[in-house]
Chain A
């Protein structure tokens, strides 16, 4: 009973317009940025290195290397500040948290492309 009500409240927050992506995939996140009274879209493209949480609190972290410096950004999956998520490339990885990418750069930081969905 109580869990039903919790699920019901969380369900009001869900968005179902995002593509299904996993850690290892390369995505472009379209972020709504409000500056003063103007709103514009900022792109953040990189590899998903983490998904955590459940329900309305689910978040994912995107890592990119910008000018030689690694940048990571964590987004709440259901946040209205995300305008859109593009799935650019599906990667084949063998773990769910790709923290090892932080220690790598260049060739060793490459991720193989997933050619077909492993489930099918």
Chain B
């Protein structure tokens, strides 16, 4: 799917033409640079386009990556992502802007790294309802997971048992979001609803194939 790399700016709300107040997430997707075009006939053996976004200090860039960006004629970038089946003809060093791929009303999937929640119990992490009541001698078990298995048969806890642990900070995709507005002058995409991650976090915006 074709897509772009952007940066989450924050959330607000806008009024649509009918006067409805709709919640939106503002994503800045500045010109992405094409840093590599992979070809099925070439050395890579498959079709893909590599985009890069977000300026970075050269002193913080490995020399190998610096050379890679130099080939595309761009400075070092912070985020590099590969998009397979890119349905726009692009060449090395081209700049992809939001208008090339997106229009208002289009559906997109947005991928980001969700906010880290730290070590969380099963009620928050897996949506368990907790155990019982506050009275009848179980006042300290309101958010407990309950039983994690049977007794001597099987004598072990099954793999994949949902328990407490680290939550969030994972690659997450929000599907089928609508583009509420495009502001091409500032390279801004306003997507209806929320997207994963904190403000300033990088997100990938994938265009849904039109069906």
Contacts and interface: CB of A to CB of B under 8 A. Distances in A.
Given A2-B200, A5-B26, A10 B12 contact: yes
A80 B9 contact: no
A96 to B, nearest CB: 23
A64 interface: no
Interface residues of B, number: 17
A2 B199 contact: yes
B194 interface: no
A119 to B, nearest CB: 30
B15 interface: yes
B15 A57 contact: no
A5 B188 contact: yes
B190 interface: yes
A76 B190 CA distance: 20
Nearest to B7: A2
Nearest to B23: A57
Contact of A6 (B12, B15, B183): B12
A13 interface: yes
A2 B190 CA distance: 14
Interface in B1-15: 9-10, 12-15
Nearest to B21: A76
- If over half of B's interface residues share one DSSP class (helix, strand or loop), that class is named, otherwise mixed; here it is strand
A80 B26 contact: no
A75 B157 CA distance: 55
Contact of B15 (A5, A13, A32, A55): A13
A115 interface: no
Nearest to B187: A5
Contacts of A81: 19
Contact of A57 (B12, B186, B200): B12
B28 interface: yes
Contacts of A111: none
Contact of B188 (A9, A55, A78): A9
A92 B12 CA distance: 33
B19 A6 contact: no
A77 to B, nearest CB: 11
Contact of A9 (B26, B199, B200): B26
Interface in A48-94: 55-57, 76, 78-81
Interface of B: 9-10, 12-15, 19, 21, 24, 26, 28, 183, 186, 188, 190, 199-200
